[in-house]
A and B are shown apart, each in its own frame.
Chain A
């Protein structure tokens, strides 16, 4: 009945995108509630293993942002 709501893992760099996400909150911007954020110290930390693992655990999408 209800629309498909995907689960998306977001790997966000602590210094860049994670900050932008915080700021989006401060500015009360609204966006879809489908992402689950994993804070990483830097996109350099991101290993392909994590992306594969996310899909393996049933994520419908993965977003990595520096």
Chain B
């Protein structure tokens, strides 16, 4: 999946997977923070965004 994204010009660091059980709230917070940080570091996504305005 990450390879496919890279192929399309999306940095693999934008996609994250994790496994957290329903009791692991602290792990949840750790992962959210880490995912947010890693995406933040990559800056706004520039590629693959549908450019033309969407007709509602």
Q: Are A35 and B44 in contact (CB under 8 A)?
A: no
Please list the residues of chain A having a beta carbon within 8 angstroms of any beta carbon in chain B.
3-6, 8, 10, 15-24, 26-27, 29-32, 34-35, 48, 51, 55-66
Q: Are A4 and B44 in contact (CB under 8 A)?
A: yes
The complex places the Cα of A31 from the Cα of B34 at a distance, in Å, of: 10
With a cutoff of 8 Å between Cβ atoms, the chain B residues found around residue A56 in the complex are: 48-50
A-contact 0/1 string along B3-47, CB 8 Å cutoff: 011000010001111111111111111011101101110111100
With a cutoff of 8 Å between Cβ atoms, the chain B residues found around residue A8 in the complex are: 35-36, 39
Q: Give, as a whole number of angstroms, the nearest-CB distance from A50 to chain B.
A: 11
A57 — nearest CB in chain B belongs to which residue?
Answer: B50
